[in-house]
Amino acid sequence: MKERIEECFKSRFATEGVFYASAGRINLIGEHTDYNGGFVFPGAIDKGMMVDIALNSTDKVRAYSVDLDSYVEFGFNEEDAPSESWARYIFGVCREIIKRCGNVLKGFDTAFAGDVPLGAGMSSSAALESAFAFALNDIFNLSIDKFELAKIGQSTEHNYCGVKCGIMDQFASVFGKEGNLIRLDCRSMEYKYFPFHPQGYRLVLLDSVVKHELASSAYNKRRESCENVCRVMRENGYPRVEFLRDADMAMLGSIREKISDEDYLRAKYVIEETERVLTVCEALERDDYETVGKMMYLTHYGMSKEYEVSCQELDFLNDIAKECGVTGSRVMGGGFGGCTINLVKDELYDTFIEKACRLYKEKYGRSPKVYPVVISNGARKL
């Protein structure tokens, strides 16, 4: 990939640049908990974005997406926003840096490419944002700390891409460390690395290759439901509930009549999911993968039936995993398509993959993509 980008960069800009990379992510458990102030448990993966970049002595960004063979130029003012969605990520990162640091950026040339599958729930967009946030911070000597780099990516999603996401993806993409998952408390932002080398098990993603058209608006709607439940709690005897993290099932029960059935189920899922992350962390400390797996199946049930962010293809893949005796399986990431993440015993791996691919193809006419997970480093200079 590096050679390909370098070649494109040289032929387009007739100069040499500097390389930066960042990563997509997996999440073992803790889904839709980040914007509820809860816990997540992600790790960076060996698939990411690579960026070649050099100053160009102008006041413009000249950006080339190698994968899409698309070229865009834009300035740094709000009204210069490009219409190409891929370029909005880069523009957004520039704008968010300017909002924090003033007019510190100068024109640059860049070519980039990636190998995170798009729309598969592995956070290709966070990888793009953090690669650029990291690169610009370094090139312009801005001394922005790593948390703020992650927040720059998150604000880019909020303000330039229309997704009111939490912090998990950008955090994992910036803080990722080879061989480690990271438990992040999204309220206090405390985090802890957990070495993850499950003896006798493998983690594998099965990509349903389904992409949901309205994923971002449905995502924002889920967030609104959670915020609504918190507001009703605050107005009904629990003034300190800022996030669903601050609530428990008894509190939710006490306002049951004041919210819709749908919002009740959404909140129930989030409250239980936050607990599950802690259960999984404890289980991992005693190498109890059976408990980890059970929690993953419960998460899938909740995401499918209560939070309603699964789809029939992902439910089908989850059912096959269960039938094959896979230890844990669930839909991963925002949902509405994308992958399941599966914790599989070594001896079951081949039969599971073979059966899942065969049955999925029989039913949906195409094979799921199979990605064995390698937990890797986050954003860095190459």
Judge whether 183 and 276 are in contact, CB under 8 Å: no
Instruction: Please give the Cα distance from 155 to 166 (Å, whole number).
Output: 10
Among 13, 20, 34, 63, binds ligand GLA (CB under 6 A): 34
Among 114, 166, 293, 368, binds ligand GLA (CB under 6 A): 166
DSSP characters over 18-50: EEEEEEEEEESS--S-GGGT-EE-EEEEEEEEE
Is position 168 an interface residue for ligand GLA (rule: CB under 6 A)? yes
Among 24, 328, 334, 368, binds ligand GLA (CB under 6 A): 334
Judge whether 19 and 381 are in contact, CB under 8 Å: yes
Instruction: Output 17 or 378, the one with its CB closest to ligand GLA.
Output: 378
**Least separation in angstroms between CB 32 and ligand GLA:** 5
Among 97, 111, 149, 165, binds ligand GLA (CB under 6 A): 165
**Least separation in angstroms between CB 159 and ligand GLA:** 14
Select which of 34, 52, 109, 169 is catalytic: 169
Is position 42 an interface residue for ligand GLA (rule: CB under 6 A)? no
Instruction: Output 123 or 327, the one with its CB closest to ligand GLA.
Output: 123
Is position 38 an interface residue for ligand GLA (rule: CB under 6 A)? no
Cα 377-370-19 angle, rounded to 5 deg: 30
Q: Is 169 a catalytic site residue?
A: yes
**Least separation in angstroms between CB 166 and ligand GLA:** 3
Label the pairing between strands 70-74 and 61-65. antiparallel
Is position 186 an interface residue for ligand GLA (rule: CB under 6 A)? no
For residues 110-129, which are near ligand GLA according to CB under 6 A? Answer: 123
Beta strands in the chain (DSSP E): 18-27, 39-40, 42-55, 61-65, 70-74, 108-114, 180-185, 191-195, 201-211, 328-331, 337-345, 369-372, 380-381
Phi, psi of 277 (to 5 degrees): -60, -45
Is position 306 an interface residue for ligand GLA (rule: CB under 6 A)? no
Q: What residues are paired with 62 via a beta bridge?
A: 73, 109
Among 119, 333, 338, 368, binds ligand GLA (CB under 6 A): 333
**Least separation in angstroms between CB 27 and ligand GLA:** 6
Distances from the Cα of 67 to the Cαs of 101, 114, 127, 170, 322, in angstroms? 31, 7, 15, 21, 36
C-alpha neighbours within 13 Å on the C-beta side of residue 378: 29
Q: Which string of b and e fits 128-156 if b means at least 16 CB within 10 Å?
A: bbbbbbbbbbbbbebebebebbbbbbbbb
Number of residues that bind ligand GLA (CB under 6 A): 11
Is position 109 an interface residue for ligand GLA (rule: CB under 6 A)? no
Instruction: Output 66 or 281, the one with its CB closest to ligand GLA.
Output: 281
- Only one of the segments 28-36, 239-247, 292-300, 360-368 lies at the binding site for ligand GLA (rule: CB under 6 A); that segment is 28-36
Q: Catalytic amino acids?
A: 169
Which residues contribute to the site for ligand GLA (CB under 6 A)?
31-32, 34-35, 123, 165-166, 168-169, 333-334
